[in-house]
Amino acid sequence: EKDILNKLPLRGKKVLITAGPTYEAIDPVRFIGNHSSGKMGFEIAKAAANLGANVVLVSGPTHQKVNHSLIKVIPVVSAQNMYDAVHEYYNTTDVAILSAAVADFTPKEVASQKIKKKDKTLTLELTKTKDILASLGAAKKHQFLVGFALETNNELENAKGKLKRKNLNLIVLNSLNDKGAGFKTDTNKVTFIDNKDNITEFELKSKTEVALDLLNEIVKKIDA
Ligand code: CTP
Ligand code: CA
């Protein structure tokens, strides 16, 4: 009997995940977005649910689909929507994993009518979005908080900086340098860095396998 229970190490745990891009409206028909597929976050959600967790998956616009009794999907559009949804669930969350590619900037004003091409140039003024992950770090109580870092240079140093600044337990460094890693692919090359400076580097793997590695690492750390 103990063996069976051990196979569901996240049974009864609440896991909050963000996935996908955000879309920031410019006018009624246009937005600023990015190429995030949402695949990594959806794979993490499935891996967590398969370990018995109750998962809330807050996702920006994607083509990903999931149908699992333990996964509740909350679709959102903008960074502000994602911020609001995440904070609704954070207090009761045990583990939060923020893999979304949140827009860093959003148009300062949304035009109420479609912008016409009357002039030769168009200047948009952008303001910074709220950093969702940093806000969870600042509000952290019992939660185990995991972030991602997408880097192209000074990778380890930048990722460690984010881990510290945002008060994380673990950060997943995503190397965009490597072929086959990143936004549109089915594979990722990751390195885990924890808040005790332990660094674990992985080979290029499918996002499904990266999700399993990540959940495995989290289970080890919350049990210890
Ligand atoms: N993140 C977030 N809210 C934002 C921006 C980022 O929650 N407004 C989260 C991402 O989901 C990711 C982590 O912060 O888990 C790091 O995102 P990343 O883009 O790598 O770093 P930034 O802190 O945005 O810094 P920069 O883009 O300048 O490197
Ligand atoms: Ca960013």
Which ipTM was obtained for this model? 0.99
Of the listed ligands, the closest to the CA of 17 is 1
Q: Residue 19: pLDDT above 80?
A: yes
Tell me what pLDDT residue 8 has.
94
**Atom number of ligand 1 nearest to Cα 148:** 15
What are 149-178's pLDDT values in tens digits?
999 899 999 999 999 999 999 999 998 766
Q: Cβ contacts of residue 73 below 8 Å, gap of 6+?
A: 57, 59, 66
| Average model confidence (pLDDT) across the chain | 95
CA–centroid distance, residue 142 to ligand 2 (Å) = 26
Q: Residue 180: pLDDT above 90?
A: no
What are 39-97's pLDDT values in tens digits?
999 999 999 999 999 999 999 999 999 999 999 999 999 999 999 999 999 999 999 99
**Which protein residue has the closest C-alpha to ligand 1 atom 28?**
104
Residue 117, both tokens: 């091409």
Q: Which of 17, 81, 131, 156 to mutate to test the pocket of ligand 1 (most atoms within 8 A of CB)?
A: 131
Catalytic residues: 34
Say how far apart CA 211 and CA 43 lie, in whole Å: 6
**Atom number of ligand 1 nearest to Cα 104:** 8
- Tell me how many degrees the CA angle 40-153-215 measures, rounded to the nearest 5: 30
Q: Which overall architecture, per CATH, does domain 2-103+126-223 show?
A: 3-Layer(aba) Sandwich (3.40)
Q: Give binding residues for CTP as ranges.
A: 104, 114, 148, 162, 166
Tell me what pLDDT residue 51 has.
97
What are 94-119's pLDDT values in tens digits?
999 999 999 999 999 999 999 999 99
Tell me the pairing of strands 71-75 and 190-194. Answer: unpaired
CA–centroid distance, residue 101 to ligand 1 (Å) = 7
**Atom number of ligand 1 nearest to Cα 162:** 23
The residue with tokens 């051990």 is: 6
Q: Residue 1: pLDDT above 90?
A: no
Say how far apart CA 141 and CA 122 lie, in whole Å: 45
pTM, entire model: 0.95
**Percent of the chain whose pLDDT exceeds 70:** 94
185 — pLDDT class (breaks 50, 70, 90): confident
